Amino acid sequence: MLARSRALARASRNLSAAATQPRIVPHRTPLWVPSGIVVRSPAMAMAASRRFHAGSGKYGKKHREDSEKGHGKKKKLLPPPTEYPPPASEFKPVPYDQLHPVTRAWIDHFFSMDSSPDPFEKRWNELPDEQKVDMVHSMMQVVKFHQLGRDPAGTLKNWLNNMLGGGTAPQQRQSKPSEEGKQGKEEAKEEESEQQQQQRSRLKPGQELGPGGPKIDLTTAILLTLAAWGILRFMVPGEQSREITWQEFRNTFLDKGLVEKLVVVNRNRVKVYLYHDATKAAYPDSPAANPNFHYYFTIGSVEAFERRLEEAQNELGIPSHERIPLAYKDEISWTGTILSFAPTLLVIGSIIFLSRRASGGAGQSGIFGIGKSRAKMFNQETDIKIKFKDVAGMDEAKVEIMEFVSFLKTPEKFERLGAKIPRGAILSGPPGTGKTLLAKATAGEAGVPFFSVSGSEFVEMFVGVGPSRVRDLFAKARKNTPCIIFIDEIDAIGKARSKSNFGGGNDERESTLNQLLTEMDGFNTQDQVVVLAGTNRADVLDKALMRPGRFDRHIVIDRPTMEGRKQIFIVHLKKIKTDEEMDYLSGRLAALTPGFAGADIANCVNEAALIAARQGAETVKMLHFEQAIERVIGGLEKKSLVLSPEEKRTVAYHEAGHAICGWYLQYADPLLKVSIIPRGSGALGYAQYLPAGEQYLMSVNQLMDRMAMTLGGRVSEELHFDTVTSGASDDFNKVTRMASAMVTKWGMSKEVGYLYFEDDEQKLQKPFSEATAQKIDAEVKKLVDAAYDKCMNLLKEKKSAVGLVAEELLRKEVLSRDDMIRILGQRQWGHSDEFEKFFKPRGESIP
C-alpha cells in the first residue's frame, strides 16, 4: 500500500509535465465501430437494429423517440418462442400461411424487432425466395444462441455427446402429449420413427444415425471445436500485449513510478506489470488500464538487463526496499505445446485410421464395431419404390413369394387356421434373372422394414466376426418385427460343410453357417422375421440350411419364356422414346432374344437408346434395337479390322455354307441374318438363327441337323478352296460337345447304352472304365462323321447356291432373310405362326 500511494503521488506530480512533453503510449483501435457493421441478411439487419433500439443509452432512447414520432405508436416486441423450429435444411420458401407454426412464430418475433408498421404476412410474402432462405438460416443461428442461453450446461453436454457419437440428442421439437394406453405408445413410436427418418435424410456421406442422433464425423468435430474455442476467446478475452523498447519503458513508466513488477520470460523477454489505477489516472486512453494487458520488451542477456535496471533505479534514487521486484519464468508457446503433443496425436490418429480400415469403412465404431452387422435397413415408405407390377417375366415365382407378403400384411388370416409363416425362401436361378429385384418388390409390397446384406460381408479375417454379425443382424431384425432379411449370394457362407477339414481354413465359415442355422430355427425363433436368400448355385448349399423350418420354399427363377421376355421388354420400353407400335415391337424383340435373362434385356434396351443417341436420331427405331441385339450377342463391329481379299472370300464361303445348311435342312433353325463383318467376340463372320418357338425337348434328327449345319462352314471351304483354314475351331468344339452329350447323357447310342456320365473337371478320375471310354470315343466320332456326310452331300448338291450367297455377301457384307428369299426362294420347310407373325413383311397376312 505504501508503494502504491507513493506511485500515485509521483504520477499526480508529473501529470502536467507529462502533458507537455512528448510520450509514446501504445494505442489500440477499438474492436467495434458502429459504422463498420455489415448487414448480410434480413435477420442480421433486424438483430443489429434491435441492438440499438433496445439499448438504454442516448442513442437507443433517441431512436425510439424518432420511431414513435414517425409511426404514431410504439410497436410491441414479441417474445421469442419457447419451441425450436425445424432445421433449415427442411425449409422451403413458401407463403406465410403455409409456414410451419413454430417457424412462423420465430419470424414474427424477428419482424417485431424493427419499426415497420406493415403486417408480418405482407412483409414475408414480399421478400424474394433468396432472402427468405437467408433469413431462416440466420434465424437458426440466433435460435442456437437462445438454446445455449436457456440451458448452457445441457446444450454443451448434448453437443459433446453428439460429437462423440453417443448420448441423447437435444430435443428439437416438443412432442404432443399422447393418450394413455396402447394408442399413446403407438403414436409416440410413430413420431420417433418419423424423427429418425428425417434425421437419416439429412445425413451426409460418411455419417451414421446413432442412438441419439447423427454421429458427427472427425472433420466436423474439429471445426466445431475450433469454433467453440473462438467463441470462448471472444467472450473471455485472453492476455493482450504489445512490444515496446527499453527507452519507452523507462521514459513512460519507470521514471513515473508506474511499474509494479517485472518478469523475465525465457531469459530473452521482460513482461512489464503496471499499477492499473495509477496508469489509468496518468494515461486514460492507454490500453494498459485493462487488467489482462501488459507490455514487454526484448533483452540480449539477463546480466546486462539487471545492470541497466539497477543503474536506472539508482539514478531515480529509489531506496533498496522499494526497488521493483524482478522474477524469472520459463514459458512454452501454444505452438511448442502442440508440437510436443504431435507424436502422441500421430500415434492416436494412426490407431484410429487403422481401426476404421479394419472395420471396413465408415459407419462402424472403429475396431470395436467390427462385429456389428453391416446390413442396410431400407424404409418401406421412402427407400423402396419397386412393386410387383415392376417385375415381369416370373409370374409363378411372384405367386409363391406373394404368400409371404400376405402373411406379413394380414397374419391373423392364416393364424386363425393354425398356419405358421414360412421361415424363409431360397431364390435360385441363373445370373440376371431378377432374384434381387423380386426380393426388393417383396419388401415394397409388404410394407415392412427390409434388411439387405451380402453373404460375403459375414466373412472376415478376424475369428468370430462372422457369427457375431449374424447375431447382431437378427437382433436388429427382432427389434423391427415384422421384417424381411435378404441375404444375397448366400453360397458365400452356406456351402455344404465338409466331413474332414485338412487345413482348418473353413472353420470360420462353418461357424458363421452354424450361427445362421441357430438363428433361423433354434430356441429363440418365435418372431416374425422372414429370411430371403439369393444364389446362383443352390446345389452347393448345406442340406441343413435347405430343410423345411429354415428355407421352406425353394423358388427357382429360370430364364423367361418368349411371353415373359415380351413382358420384360414392355417394362423397360416405357422409359424409351420410340414411335414403334409397342405390342409389335416387344413381340419382335422377344422373338429375337431367345435365352436372354432380364438383365440382358435391360442392357439391350439401353444399348439401343445409346446407339440412337450416337447416330443423332430423334427416336429409337427398330433398326437400333436390332443393332443392339447384335452388339450384345456378337460384340461390337470391328470396322477397323480390314481382311485381305483372300481372307474375306474364305469367310464369305464359310458363312454361306452355314446359311445354305440352315435354309435346306428340315430341323435346322431358320436363318435370320448373316454377315462377314468381324466382331469383338473374335468371330470374323456372324450368322443369326432364330429357334422356331420355345423348344424343351430335342430329337435325334434335330440334333443331327444342327451338327450338320455347324459343320457347313468347313465343308464349304473344302468344296471351294484347295486348302482349309483354322476358322472352324469353334464349330468343332460345339459339335464335339453336342455329340458327347448325346452319347454320355441322353442315351442316344446303342453301343454305350442308357447310361449317364457327369462331366466334372475337378475330379481326377473319370466315372467309367477305359473300355467304356473307348466306346464313347468311337460313338462320338461315329455321330460326327454321320453329320459330316449329311452336310457334304447337301452342299455338293447346292454348290451353285453356296456360290450365289457367297458372292452376294462379298458385295453387300450383310444379308437378311429377305435377301435369302430373293436369292434362294421360299424355304421348303415352313415356320411357326409365331415366327411368321413378327418376321413377315408388315401388312401381309399369315396363310
Note the pLDDT tens digit of each residue in 374-384. 666 766 555 67
Cell of 457: 460381408
**Is residue 216 left, alpha or beta, with left meaning phi > 0 and alpha meaning psi from -120 to 50?**
beta
In a domain, 193, yes or no: no
- For residue 273, give the amino acid letter: Y
Would you say residue 169 lies in a domain? no
- Residue 351 inside a domain? The answer is no
Query: What is the pLDDT at residue 496?
Result: 83
Q: Is residue 423 located within the same domain as residue 304? A: no
Region of poorest pLDDT, from 289-293, 470-474, 756-760, 812-816: 289-293
Q: What is the C-alpha separation between 19 and 29, in angstroms, rounded?
A: 22
| Same-domain pairing of 9 and 48 | no
Domain boundary among 615, 634, 653: 634
Q: What CATH number did the domain enclosing 250 receive?
A: 3.40.1690.20
- Are 261 and 397 in a shared domain? no
Q: 392, 491, 494, 487: which is closest to 433 by C-alpha? A: 392
The distance of Cα 754 from the centroid of its chain, to the nearest Å, equals 55
CA distances, 755 to each of 28, 126, 167, 324, 748 (Å): 105, 89, 70, 116, 10
Q: What is the per-residue pLDDT across 125-145, written as a single tens digit (0 to 9) for each?
A: 888 888 888 888 888 877 877
Residue 346 lies in a domain: no
Query: Residue 431 sits in a domain of what CATH number?
Result: 3.40.50.300
CB 608 within 8 Å of CB 627: yes
Phi-psi region of 72 (alpha: psi -120 to 50; beta: other; left: phi over 0): left
Write the pLDDT tens digit of every residue in 576-585. Answer: 999 888 888 8
pLDDT-wise least confident of 197-206, 234-243, 531-540, 557-566: 197-206
**Cα 53 from Cα 45, distance rounded (Å):** 12
Same domain, 684 and 813: yes
Task: Answer whether residue 214 is part of any domain.
Answer: no
- Asked whether residue 669 falls in the same domain as residue 811, the answer is yes
Instruction: Report the mean per-residue pLDDT for the chain.
Output: 76
Same domain, 490 and 591: no
Reported confidence tier of residue 44, pLDDT bands at 50, 70, 90:
very low
Question: Given 150, 183, 216, which residue is the final one in a domain?
Answer: 150
Q: Which residue has the higher pLDDT, 213 or 124?
A: 124
Q: Which residues participate in catalysis according to the annotation?
A: 655
**pLDDT number for residue 60:** 38
Considering its fold, how many domains does the chain have in total? 5
The reply to whether the predicted model has a pTM over 0.85 is no
Residue 470 lies in a domain: yes
Q: 622 and 598 in one domain? A: yes
Residues 661, 676 within the same domain? yes
Residues 567 and 550 in one domain: no
Tell me: do 271 and 418 sit in the same domain: no
What CATH number is attached to the domain comprising 582?
1.10.8.60
Q: Which of 299, 331, 363 is the last residue of a domain?
A: 331
Q: What is the pLDDT of residue 832?
A: 59
Give the range of the structural domain holding residue 81, as residue numbers without chain letter: 40-150
- Give 212's pLDDT tier (boundaries 50, 70, 90): very low
> Which run of H or of E encompasses 377?
strand 376-378
Query: Do 475 and 618 have their domain in common?
Result: no
Domain assignment present for 595 = yes
Yes or no: say if 516 and 470 are a contact pair by the CB < 8 Å rule: yes
d(CA 843, CA 59): 92
Are both 695 and 576 inside the same structural domain? no
Give the mean model confidence (pLDDT) for residues 12-20: 40
| Residue 775 domain flag | yes
Say whether pLDDT at 214 is over 50: no
Measured CA to CA, the distance from residue 413 to residue 400 in angstroms comes to 17
Judging by DSSP bridges, how do beta strands 259-265 and 326-329 pair with one another? parallel
